[in-house]
Chain A
Amino acid sequence: MKNNEKVEILLVEDNPADAEIAIRALRRHHLANSIVHVMDGKEALDFIFTDGNTPRIILLDLKLPRVGGLEVLKAIKENPDTRRIPVVVLTSSAEESDLVASYDLGANSYLVKPVDFEKFSEAIREFGMYWLLLNNQPE
C-alpha cells in the first residue's frame, strides 16, 4: 500500500469506534487530509517498514492485538530511519507504568483519551497544531 501522496497521519487503533471518533476529531480541525488507519501493531509495522512509508506523525494506541503498542513504539524509535517520526501515544488509562514505559521508549507525547468527545476534540486540535503545523521536522 504505497501512497503517492505523502501520508500525514498514521492512526494505529484497534477499536473501530475510537478510530472513527479520532478521525472525526482530526477532520473537524482539518487535519485529516491524509490519514491511514491500521487496526493492529503488525499492520502498523508492515506499513512503515515493509511498505516504506514515513508518515509525518503517528497516533498509537497502546492496547493492540498481535503486536502491542509499546513494541511498535520500540521498533520505530530503534530504527534510525523512523526514529524522528513523532509518536503520540493514545490510551484510555493514565496508569503510571504505561506512561513511564512510553517515555522511556521515546514517545513524543502522551494523550489520555477522555470520555467527553469535546475534550478529546480539543486535545486533538492542540497536538495537531503543535506537531503538524508548528514543529518543523528535518526532512
Chain B
Amino acid sequence: MRVPPITIRRKVQIAAAVVLLITVFVILVAAFTSRQVLRALHQADAAQEIAHAVAELSLLTDAYLAYGEARMETQWRSRAGTIQSLLDQHRSPPAGIDLQLVFDSLTRSFSALEEINREKNLPDSTDGDTAALSRIAERIGSRMRMDSQQLLSGTFSVARAARGHAVTIQKRGFLVVAGAAAILILTILGTVTTLSLTVTRRMQHLLKGVRALGDGLLDQRIRSDTNDEIGIVADAFNTMASRLEQLVWREQKAQEELRTLNTQLEARVEERTEALAAANREMEAFTYSVSHDLRAPLRAVDGFTRFLQEDYGPHLDQEAQRFLDVIRGNVQQMDKLITDLLALSRVTRSDLKSTAIEMEPLVHAIWRETVPEETRRAYTFTVKNMPPAQGDPSLLKQVWVNLVSNAVKYSSTSPRKEIEVGGVAENGEAVYYIRDYGVGFDPAYGHKVFGAFQRLHRSDQFEGTGIGLAIVERIVLRHGGRVWAEGEEDKGATFHFAVPAAPGNEGGRTGEK
C-alpha cells in the first residue's frame, strides 16, 4: 500500500484549512441568517405600524364623516402620508392583496369625501342636496371602512407572513450551521483519529525496531513505505542500523583475525618452546654422556697407570716413572676440564632464583671457606661497603668464589699480596669490583679474559682451565648484568660486574666502612 507522499505536517495543515473554511462558512451562514431574520422581523414591525396607522386613519375617517371638520382633513392627510412612506419603505412581497392598491382606493375615497363635504358646505346647497350628499358620503364611508378593514387584515397577514418567514429562515440557518458543525466535528475527529491511529501505530513499530536494535538485533529493519516524517525517521534508522551492523561486523572480523593471529602466535611459541626444550634435553644428554663416557676411559688410564706403577715400579727406571707421572698429571688435568665444562653448562641450564643477597657477609664467608689459611695469612683482604644484590644466591656465590680464587691465583707470585672488594648501587644496579696487585694482563687482550678456555698466561705459570671467568660472565649475563675488566701487566687487575640491586637500595650506601 503506497501512500502518496504527503507529510504528516501537510496533512495537519490541510485538515486545519478545511476546519477554517467550514468555520468561516458557518459564520457567514449565521450572519446571513440573522440579517434575513432581522429584516423579516423589521417588516413585520412595519406591517404592524401600518396596521396601527390604518386603524387610526379609520377612526379619523369616522370622525370626519360625522363632523366634517376641515382640520381633520389635515390630520387624515398627515396620517396617510405616514402610511405611504411606510409602504414605500417596505415593499412587501405580495401577500394575497396589493396594499398600495387598497390604500390608493382609500385615499381616493377620502378625496371624494372631501369633495362632498365642500359641496355640502356651499351656501347655495339645499337640504335635499345635503341629504343626497350625506347619503353618498355614507356610501363612500362604508366603502372606506371596507377598504380599511381589508388594509388592516392585509397588513396583519403581511406581518404574520414576515414572522413566519423569519422563523423559517432561522430554522434553515440553524440546520445549515448544525450540519456544518457536524461536518466540522467529523472532519476534526476523522483527521485526529486517522493521524493518531497511523502515527501511533507506526511510532510503535519504530519503537519496536529501536528497542530490538538496542537489544543487539542488528539485522533489525523498519518497513518504510512512506515519505513522511516517520518514513524519514525509519529510513534514517535503517541506515544507522546497517552502518552499525557493518561496524560490528568489521569489529568482529578484526577480532576474529586477531584471535587467529594469537592462536598462530601461540602455536608458534609452543613450537619454539618445544624446540628449545628438545635442544635442552639434547644438551643434557650430551653433558651426561660427556661426564660419563669421557671419564670412563680416563679412569681406566689413571687406574692402569697406577697398577703399572704398583706392580712393575721396581722394574722401571726413573725416566719411565716420570713418564707415568706425566700421564697421570694430564689425566687429572683433563678430568678438571670436564668438570669445569660441566659446571659451565650447569650455569646456563639451572633455574634462576631471585632473592635479596647481602654481599658483605657472603664475600667474607667465601674468603674464609675457600682460601687456605696459610694463604689468607699472607694476604691483606679488604672488604669495602657493598650494596645488597638481587639474584640467585648460589650462582652469585659462584661468581665471588671464582673471582676471589682468580685474584689469589694471579697475585700469588707478586710481592704485593692485597685484595680489595667493594661496590656501589647506582641506577638500580649493584656494581661490584675486586682488585688485586698481581701479574695483571695486557690490556690489548682484555677482551679475551672472559672467554671459555681463553688463557692469558702460560699454564706452567698458573694452573687453570680458563673456565672460571667464563662462568662468571655467564652468571652475570643471566642476571641481565654486565662484566668487564681492567688490567695492566705486572701491576694488577680489577674485575667489575653489575647485577640488579636489591629493591629499596637505590642509590644506596657508598664510601668506606
| B288-A17 in contact (CB<8A) | no
| B306-A115 in contact (CB<8A) | no
B307: interface (CB < 8 Å): yes
Q: Which residues of B contact A113 (CB under 8 A)?
A: 295, 299
Contact with B along A11-51 (1 / 0, CB 8 A): 00001011011001000000000000000000000000000
Stretch at the interface among A71-79, A103-111, A116-124, A125-133: A116-124
| A115-B295 in contact (CB<8A) | yes
User: How far is B300's CA from A20's CA once the two chains are assembled, in angstroms?
Assistant: 9
B296: interface (CB < 8 Å): yes
A56: interface (CB < 8 Å): no
User: How far is B331's CA from A93's CA once the two chains are assembled, in angstroms?
Assistant: 17
A102: interface (CB < 8 Å): no
| B306-A117 in contact (CB<8A) | yes
Q: Which residues of A contact B331 (CB under 8 A)?
A: 115-116
Contact with B along A67-99 (1 / 0, CB 8 A): 000000000000000000000000111110000
Q: Which residues of A contact B307 (CB under 8 A)?
A: 24
Q: Which residues of A contact B304 (CB under 8 A)?
A: 17, 21
| A115-B292 in contact (CB<8A) | no
Q: Which of A17, A94, A95 interacts with B303 by CB under 8 Å?
A: A17
| B296-A24 in contact (CB<8A) | no
| B303-A92 in contact (CB<8A) | no
Q: Which residues of B contact A94 (CB under 8 A)?
A: 291
| B302-A92 in contact (CB<8A) | no
With A17-B304, A115-B331: A120-B299 Cβ-Cβ less than 8 Å: yes
Contact with A along B304-339 (1 / 0, CB 8 A): 101100000000000000000000000110110000
Chain B residue at minimal CB-CB distance from A94: B291
B298: interface (CB < 8 Å): yes
User: How far is B300's CA from A18's CA once the two chains are assembled, in angstroms?
Assistant: 7
| B291-A117 in contact (CB<8A) | no
With A115-B302, A116-B332: A95-B296 Cβ-Cβ less than 8 Å: no
Q: Which residues of A contact B298 (CB under 8 A)?
A: 115
User: How far is B302's CA from A114's CA once the two chains are assembled, in angstroms?
Assistant: 10
User: How far is B64's CA from A67's CA once the two chains are assembled, in angstroms?
Assistant: 179
| B306-A95 in contact (CB<8A) | no
User: How far is B299's CA from A18's CA once the two chains are assembled, in angstroms?
Assistant: 7
With A17-B300, A21-B299, A24-B303: A115-B291 Cβ-Cβ less than 8 Å: no
How extensive is the interface on chain B, given as a class?
20 to 34
Nearest-neighbour CB distance to chain B for A15, whole angstroms, equals 6
How many residue pairs, one in A and one in B, have C-beta atoms under 8 Å apart? 57
Q: Which residues of B contact A24 (CB under 8 A)?
A: 303, 307
With A93-B288, A120-B303: A18-B332 Cβ-Cβ less than 8 Å: no
Q: Which of B288, B296, B300, B302 interacts with A116 by CB under 8 Å?
A: B302
| A93-B291 in contact (CB<8A) | yes
Q: Kindly identify, within residues 259 to 317 of chain B, every residue whose CB is under 8 Å from any CB belonging to chain A.
A: 287-288, 291-293, 295-300, 302-304, 306-307
Q: Which residues of A contact B299 (CB under 8 A)?
A: 17-18, 21, 92, 113-115, 117, 120
| A95-B295 in contact (CB<8A) | no
With A15-B296, A17-B303, A92-B299: A115-B288 Cβ-Cβ less than 8 Å: no
User: How far is B38's CA from A4's CA once the two chains are assembled, in angstroms?
Assistant: 164
Q: Which of A17, A21, A93, A114 interacts with B292 by CB under 8 Å?
A: A93
| A95-B335 in contact (CB<8A) | no
Nearest-neighbour CB distance to chain A for B327, whole angstroms, equals 12
Q: Which residues of B contact A20 (CB under 8 A)?
A: 303
Nearest-neighbour CB distance to chain A for B388, whole angstroms, equals 28
With A115-B298, A115-B331: A91-B303 Cβ-Cβ less than 8 Å: no
With A21-B300, A116-B332: A92-B306 Cβ-Cβ less than 8 Å: no
User: How far is B300's CA from A65's CA once the two chains are assembled, in angstroms?
Assistant: 19
Q: Which of B292, B306, B332 interacts with A63 by CB under 8 Å?
A: B292
With A15-B296, A115-B331, A116-B335: A21-B303 Cβ-Cβ less than 8 Å: yes
With A115-B331, A115-B332, A116-B335: A95-B300 Cβ-Cβ less than 8 Å: no
Chain B residue at minimal CB-CB distance from A93: B291
Q: Which residues of B contact A91 (CB under 8 A)?
A: 292
Q: Which of A15, A63, A117 interacts with B302 by CB under 8 Å?
A: A117
Nearest-neighbour CB distance to chain A for B465, whole angstroms, equals 14
User: How far is B335's CA from A92's CA once the two chains are assembled, in angstroms?
Assistant: 11
Q: Which residues of B contact A118 (CB under 8 A)?
A: 306
Chain A residue at minimal CB-CB distance from B346: A96
Chain B residue at minimal CB-CB distance from A121: B306
Nearest-neighbour CB distance to chain A for B337, whole angstroms, equals 11
Q: Kindly identify, within residues 206 to 261 of chain B, every residue whose CB is under 8 Å from any CB belonging to chain A.
A: none
User: How far is B298's CA from A114's CA once the two chains are assembled, in angstroms?
Assistant: 10
User: How far is B297's CA from A67's CA once the two chains are assembled, in angstroms?
Assistant: 22
Nearest-neighbour CB distance to chain B for A8, whole angstroms, equals 22
| A95-B288 in contact (CB<8A) | yes
Chain A residue at minimal CB-CB distance from B298: A115
| B291-A17 in contact (CB<8A) | no
A20, A21, A24, A115, most chain B CB atoms within 10 A? A115
| A17-B296 in contact (CB<8A) | yes
User: How far is B300's CA from A120's CA once the two chains are assembled, in angstroms?
Assistant: 12
The 14 listed contacts between A and B (C-beta, < 8 Å) are: A15-B300, A17-B296, A18-B296, A21-B300, A92-B296, A93-B288, A93-B295, A95-B288, A114-B299, A115-B295, A115-B299, A115-B302, A117-B306, A118-B306
Give the interface of B toward A (CB within 8 A). Answer: 287-288, 291-293, 295-300, 302-304, 306-307, 331-332, 334-335
